[in-house]
Amino acid sequence: MLKNKTILVTGGTGSFGKKFIRRILQEEIKKVIVFSRDELKQYEMKQEFKDARLRFFIGDVRDQERLYRAFDGVDIVIHAAAMKHVEACEYNPFEAVKTNIYGAQNIIEAAIDRNVEKVIALSTDKAAAPVNLYGATKLASDKLFVAANSYVGEKHTKFSVVRYGNVVGSRGSVVPFFNKMKETGRLPVTDERMTRFWITLDQGVQFVLDNLRRMQGGEIFVPKIPSMNIIDLATAIGPECEIDIVGIRPGEKLHEVMITHDDARHTVEFDDYYVITPELAWWGNKMHGGQALSETFEYSSETNVDWLTKEELKIMAGEFLE
């Protein structure tokens, strides 16, 4: 699938981008382009990777002209660039709109006009029934990428979305925060009832690669992943620490949902993932197999059937702990 292909990763210097690029450099790709706006991170990544197939392109997804230049000759785009910190989006709302929504549309326009073969956009569990601006912008982004398949015309670009939960050890995540705070002997927890979906970077990368193969264009792919309780995570990382309940932050949920009741009507289930299919006339029935879900189904971190134990949480977070 990747042999002799040119792959571009927006947000390529981020946690996912670096892990994804390290993985695909093991394949017989032609080249991989890192598209991001931080020259220092690009310089550091260049020193770390040292691969002749790696290219670095300074640019912002808000800049459509720059994307047109970057996408020249590109076969596959992985769109991982986003403003994703909930509080930052709440206090800088239109900046989030410009990056997450306008940026998504710029990616779509450039991909179609430059004859990119496939585009996968990374989404988040916060895009389902959003209560914060970050989730709302990512929901809008998801809708744009699904609908983009409607107006490719005679071009052959396909767009799909991958939606998953919290990533262990990603930049700004709770694991490195707890790891740092445990030195004080106290860990701040927003609410002891809070649950989250949990996935490793390696699992996220593999899920994207799997869906590059299976995508028809228009799907939102959702992996079956375990849930964790925030108290279990805190006590796994700092078993001797006292827990301080500090209250839910602006725009935060108690539990996350990746498939809502309304989405369930047009979602099919496979052994280890779900596919939310488009409610658009052109879709038809492109999925091969899969089991239809009940209209009352909801994929929530609170009611998930798969839960991580404290021991499993500690193993998953191990590489990020001192």
What integer pLDDT is reported at residue 321 of this predicted model?
61
Given the residues 5, 18, 126, 253, select the one marked as catalytic: 126
The tokens describing 134, both together, are: 């970050």
Residue among 102, 319, 123, 298 nearest 207 (CA): 123
Annotation marks residue 158 as catalytic: no
Q: Would you say 145 and 161 are in contact if contact means Cβ atoms under 8 Å apart?
A: yes
Query: Parallel, antiparallel, or unpaired: how do β-strands 267-269 and 291-292 relate?
Result: antiparallel
Along the chain (322 residues), what's the average pLDDT of each consecutive run of 10 residues? Answer: 96 95 96 97 94 96 97 98 92 97 98 97 95 96 97 93 88 80 91 93 96 95 96 89 89 92 95 94 77 93 94 80 58
CA dist 34 and 58 (Å) reads 8
What integer pLDDT is reported at residue 195 of this predicted model?
95
What integer pLDDT is reported at residue 319 of this predicted model?
66
CATH class of 6-230+254-320: alpha beta
What predicted TM-score, i.e. pTM, was given to this entire model?
A: 0.94
The tokens describing 162, both together, are: 């991958």
Give the residue extent of every domain in the chain. Answer: 6-230+254-320
